[in-house]
Amino acid sequence: MSEGKENPAPPGSPQRIVRGHARTTIRAGAMLLAASASLLGAAPALAADTAFQPPPKWDIPAAQPRARIAAPADMQPITDLKGRAFFHDVTLGLEQGWGQVKSRDDDVPGKTDFRDTTLTLGFRAGSRFFGALSGSYMDSSNDAQNAPRFGSIPISGNGYTTSFRASGGYMVLPFWAVGASFGNSDISGGYQYQIPVPRTGTDGHGFTQSYFTTLSLPAAGWMFSGSLAYTNTDQKQDYANNFPPGQDSRFEILTATVGASRRLGGNWHLRGSLAFNHTLHQSTLEEINGLDQNWATLTAGLSYRVNRSLEIGARVSTWLDNDKNDYTHGIVGVTYHF
């Protein structure tokens, strides 16, 4: 997730298939926006000393002619008296990511490699509102094996996901923000058993909604934050040459995140966060759950401000204490500040 914003959610939906049944495991994550605010101070006013009395008139020296002062040659008239626009602090970011999800179940091994590209437009509105619009494209390749009771047949597949998301928030206080995020995705692809049977194609769409609240606190040169988010993901997929011909999935996740950021010497900016995820609900197929009940996500990032407008950065995320899957995701990106 640009500054203020903490990016959340794992980006792929890896598939694990059993013979005669297609089972899709959705990696649903929370997308958090970390809001930061500036603390304003008041400057004391200077009052005139009313006890001062001018000297008698006859003691006042005669006026002297003033020296003529020439204006600098490069002085320009003031033409912009409108002040800051309603939409301000506009940023445009482009990120490229690479990642992998790997099953920890030796009986049903599976590995998904993915690449994702995301374009994000961020902004502030007035003095309290902030938001972002983003679009992303992800392609993935999967190598898996179905359960031993179905023959342990190797399976390969691929998937393509196009997603759009709108996020917004409101600064209730300079250190407290609330907001929401809504996203829609279209999924296509397919898988092939490594036996002489027809390839199975898949098409689907999904909708994700998140609601969050964030507290921020500056201390000793650091900006500390704490967030709580609820994420709900619904997805429907249709299959060709398969029974059942479709599947509906739903996941609900509660995420608590603590984060810290600090500006280092020069134009460097360091960020880090630790998110604790709890699965409130998930749909099941054949009594198999795709997401672990509890796990953590560790994220660390570093950015460099090249000049007033251009910023480059990188970050990496990984899952901790997850009994079902290993997950890593690395991202590099560039941001332009208007």
**In the chain, which stretches have pLDDT less than 70?**
1-83, 284-289
Structure tokens at 124: 């502030």
What does each C-alpha distance from 93 to 32, 35, 171, 288 come to in angstroms?
A: 17, 17, 23, 38
Name the CATH superfamily, with its identifier, for domain 15-34+84-337: Autotransporter beta-domain (2.40.128.130)
Structure-token match 């990511």, residue found: 97
**Which pLDDT belongs to residue 48?**
28
Structure-token match 């792929």, residue found: 12
**Which pLDDT belongs to residue 284?**
67
**Cα–Cα distance, 321 to 325 (Å, whole number):** 9
**Which pLDDT belongs to residue 307?**
95
Structural domain boundaries of the chain? 15-34+84-337
Rounded to 5°, the CA angle 122-124-129 comes to 120
